[in-house]
Structure formats: C-alpha cells, structure tokens
Amino acid sequence: MMSKTMRSGAASPLKKTLLQRTFATSGGDIPTAVDGVRINRYSANVTQPKARGASQAMLYATGMTEEDMDKPQVGIASMWWEGNPCNMHLLDLAGEVKKGVNAAGMVGLRFNTIGVSDGISMGTDGMSYSLQSRDLIADSIETVMGGQWYDANICIPGCDKNMPGCVIAMARVNRPSLMVYGGTIRAGCSSKGETIDYVSASQAYGEFITNKITEEERHDVIRHACPGAGACGGMYTANTMATAIETLGLSLPFSSSSPANSTEKQDECQRAGEAIKLLLEKNIKPLDILSREAFENAITVTMALGGSTNAVLHLIAIARAADIPLTIDDFEKISERVPFLADVKPSGQYVMEDIHRVGGTPAVLKYLMNKGFINGDCLTVTGKTLAENISGVPDLSDNHEIIHSVERPLKSSGHLRILRGDLAPDGSVAKITGKEGLTFTGTAKVYDCEEDMLAALERKEITKGSVVIIRYEGPKGGPGMPEMRTYSYSAALWGGCLSCFVAAPLTSIVLVLLDAFFYTVGPTSAIMGAGLGKDVAMLTDGRFSGGSHGFIIGHITPEAQVG
C-alpha cells in the first residue's frame, strides 16, 4: 500500500529535490498560474528534462507536439464498457471532455477502468464482484495518475460503485480533480402508458409468478423499462452517490441530476476543461474540498432525498481515504434532524429526471440551505463555495409533489437509521421511509443464501407474516457482501435498538419499529412483486440494492460467517 505521503500527492524530500533540479535544468517554458505556481507541476517531470528524452519520445508517438510538451496533462478516466446502459455512453462523454480540455489549452489523455453492472449481476454469484469493483476502480485510477504523472484528473463514472471508486482515488492522489457523472436514464413507458423503470422490471417477476400479470405483460415491462443510456432512474445507489458527490463539491452544479442524453450533460462535459484548468491555476485539490462539513452536507442530502443504504458504506470509505473522521453514528445523528422530503423511487412515484425538471440538485441544495440544513461555506470544484454556486439558481418549482416542504415532509426524520441490539451488537443499517407502519410480528424463516430464499418464494413457502433472514452474505460469507434484491422488510427498532425475541417452539420473531419500515430489490423485488411488500420483513448481513424499500435491515454486524 502506498504511504500517506504518496497518497496525499505531496512529494518526499528526495522527490522535491529531484523536481527542483528538473525544473532548473529543463530549459523549457513551463506554464504558470497567475500566482506563479506551475500548472503542469507533475507532468513536467517527464516532459521537460533533457534526461527524460525516452519518455518524451513515447509521448511524441501518441501524437503530442512540441507545444503540447509544455502543457498540463489531464487524465480523463472513463468507466466505459458496452454491456451496461449506465456505462455504454461514457466513451462518447469522455471524447467531449477531451475536446473541452484541449480547447482550454491542455492535453487531455483518456484512459479506462473496469466496472460491474449491479443490475445485471444482481441475484447471481456475479454480485460478489460488485463491491470489490469499487476498490479496483480506485486502485486503477490511482495507478495511472501516479505512474503517468498527470497533473489533474477528470473521472466519468456511470454505475453504482463507479462514483465512490473515483472519489476514493481522487482523495488518495490529491491532484486537481472533478467528476462528471454519466447521468441518469430517462423513464421508461409500458405499452399501457405507465411510467416504468429498472425496478419495475425486477418486480415483474414476482407479479408473474403470483398470476398478477401475464407473460405478455411481463415481457412488455422488461422490454420498455430501460429506454437507453444512463444510470437507473430512481434514487438508487448511482443517483444517490452522484448527488452526494455533487454536494461534497467534487462535481459541477447539475451534474447529478441532468439526464445522460441531455444537452446539459454535453455542455457539462465541455465546461469540465475550463473547470479543471481553474483548479490547476488555483491549486485546489480534493483534500481542500473534502471537509467534515462537506460530508455532513452529503449525508443531509442523502437523508432528504431518500438515498440508498449504500451511501453509508461508500461515504465512510471516501472519508477514510480523505482522513476525515466519519462513522455510522454520524448518519444516525443527522437522520434524527433531517426530514425525508422526496417522493421518488424506490419508495415514491418519481425519478431523478423529474427532480431535474423542477430545478435539479442545486435547487434542492438551495432549499435545504435556506432552511438551515446545509453549510454553504464549503469549497467546491468551481473555486467558489457551495452557497456561491447556488445563489443564482432558481428556487424549486412550485405546484408539484416531487420534493415536499420541510413543513409537510413525507417523514419528519431521515429514512436511514443505524440500529444496534441483540441481532446487531456492532450495528446495522435500516431504510425506513415511513410508509409501512409501526410494528411487525412474524415467524422467522432462515436461509443461508439469497438463492435458497428465491427458491422458497417460488415454492410459496414465504407467506404473509414471514420474517425472512438471509445470512452468510456479508463481506466474508458472501463473499463480497452482495446486494439483496429479493425483497425485504425491516426489523426490531425500539428506542433505537434492534431486538429479536425467539419464542420456542414457534420461533416467532417480534419486530417493533418505532418509526416505520420498507422494501428491497432482487429478493426484495420478488417479494414486492408477489404482493407481500407489507406482509414480510427481511434481515441480512449482506447489502441491499439502492432500489430496495420496505421492512428491511442490512449490513448486520458481526456477519454470520464470523459469528
């Protein structure tokens, strides 16, 4: 593992001496910012010294010119691959970003990294690779940025784990960086004219096996749920993390809400060049932006918009990379004071495209700041504060039910709750939207993997009043802590504690929810589609998809594999 010094982007004393000698003897005209700071301070190590002739020969072979050798080099990291709608357009967006970088007087150099489609791998062994992909993305971006001596980085992610992987790398490398989100997908439309999306396709299975829809209707939903490029359209993990990262200050305004195929997204790609040049000139780096207050803002927005439980996992990982103290208890504290306002999927009616239509993420931030929930003093990649970024943004549109007012929230507190108790002495994460009631009592049905639970559902063993427990799905047991999409309900909350009462011989689990409960996708979607959404609860040591809602509690620790 690289040292803290290397990850911070600071050179060791030996390397400082080397760079000083390099600049003194290169004879090149190195570009400087207005304050005298070199804006190609890293790439000059290979483009300027006469002793680096072999390195320069390699760069000439790529098409760089004599003039280019004196320009800053910007690494453009795309998570493009063809087999996923969230990512299939990112190569095109990277091309637009490169044009903007070159037009701003720099050299844009594209490179690629990997990804996993959670939507495609869900419910299969492929899900064991999902969370690991986040760290592979972070490692690969760090590797290219460090090995190639690029001066700055623009990341272009699409699917769920892409975003935190990018930002973890930004924090490690700590060179001027920003993220251009690939954008949300447009809503689908069934032949009946119903607005549908990816989760609709997932739930169609449960509806079909319980004879609520025909095979033709099921196929129609699947065929039209995802109309083109972009990440899953609700407040699922991708849109949750994009919104959180824009709030952190690492994306340009509107990045998280503008659809993938919109003119706004194309414009953002073009503007990224001038934005990264400004960061180079002012020497603003990710660790200048990633403050404790910025993370509190990101958690606040996640609570207000009903974001994914995965935000807990990812924001803590990003904070660790940035050396910012952040724990699950911080999520609980913020959840207690921030109301849940967004009537968006998975628990609501609308999608991210609708939020963009009424003002987008900046308008939501402006509203929350005016209500005292957001700290506007945090620095962002525009070189301005969050408050300065949103000062000229129109207020949220009136006459809609997409974002509720603080005075008339969907729920007076946040939807993500941190629970501890007999079943989770080290904590767990519940997603409580406030729509599902106060208590649940049922008979425990324990499965040692998600596949066994789905088979039981097909055999109609899971009925009203069941408490589904899926264990051995944690980081070690899964392995890889896969997401449960089957369906789930949540468990035992009494005064903030999770409790399980087993009444032998009935093995009946009593679940008491102080605030409410909710549902999930995969196992959760199958259960939802089967019409058991309000009648079944689910607990797991695995994760839940961002498309989950209902009576669900995940991330239970310690996981079953370790006792």
Domain contains 469: yes
Domain finish residue from 197, 224, 251: 224
Residue 509 exposure: Cα atoms within 13 Å on the Cβ side: 26
Write out the H or E segment, with its range, that includes residue 162.
helix 162-173
pLDDT of residue 423: 84
Q: Which DSSP category does 557 fall into?
A: S
Measured CA to CA, the distance from residue 450 to residue 395 in angstroms comes to 44
Domain contains 493: yes
Domain contains 358: no
298 φψ region: left (φ > 0), alpha (ψ -120 to 50), beta (else): alpha
pLDDT of residue 481: 78
**Considering its fold, how many domains does the chain have in total?**
3
What does the chain come to in residues? 563
Domain contains 87: no
pLDDT of residue 241: 98
Tell how strand 73-78 and strand 152-156 pair up: parallel
pLDDT of residue 549: 56
Question: Rounded to the nearest 5 degrees, what angle is found at the Cα of 150, between the Cα atoms of 148 and 152?
Answer: 155
Measured CA to CA, the distance from residue 146 to residue 538 in angstroms comes to 44
In the chain, the amino acid numbered 410 is: L
Tell how strand 537-540 and strand 552-554 pair up: parallel
Closest residue by Cα to residue 276 from 262, 286, 266? 286
- Domain span holding position 45: 11-62
| pLDDT per residue of the chain (563 residues) written in tens, 0 to 9 | 443 333 444 433 334 333 444 444 344 455 666 556 789 999 999 999 999 999 999 999 999 999 999 999 999 999 999 999 999 999 999 999 999 999 999 999 999 999 999 989 887 888 889 999 999 999 999 999 999 999 999 999 999 999 999 999 999 999 999 999 999 999 999 999 998 998 889 889 888 988 999 999 999 999 999 999 999 999 999 999 999 999 999 999 999 999 999 999 999 999 999 999 999 999 999 999 999 999 999 999 999 999 999 999 999 999 999 999 999 999 999 999 999 999 999 889 999 999 999 999 999 999 999 999 999 999 999 999 999 999 999 999 888 899 999 999 999 999 898 988 888 899 998 887 766 555 667 888 999 988 888 888 888 888 888 888 999 888 888 888 776 654 433 322 223 333 332 322 223 333 333 222 233 344 544 545 445 556 888 888 887 766 565 678 888 999 989 87
Domain finish residue from 204, 224, 244: 224
Measured CA to CA, the distance from residue 465 to residue 454 in angstroms comes to 17
Q: Which residues on adjacent β-strands are paired with residue 523? A: 486
Measured CA to CA, the distance from residue 404 to residue 393 in angstroms comes to 19
Measured CA to CA, the distance from residue 348 to residue 353 in angstroms comes to 14
Question: Rounded to the nearest 5 degrees, what angle is found at the Cα of 303, between the Cα atoms of 297 and 305?
Answer: 100
Catalytic residues: 545
At a CB cut-off of 8 Å and minimum separation 6, what does 328 contact? 312, 316, 418, 427, 429
Query: For the domain that residue 452 is a member of, what is the CATH number?
Result: 3.50.30.80
Write out the H or E segment, with its range, that includes residue 222.
helix 215-224
Domain contains 143: no
CB 462 within 8 A of CB 531: no
Domain contains 526: yes
Domain contains 158: no
Domain finish residue from 200, 224, 248: 224
Measured CA to CA, the distance from residue 41 to residue 488 in angstroms comes to 52
Domain contains 482: yes
CB 142 within 8 A of CB 172: yes
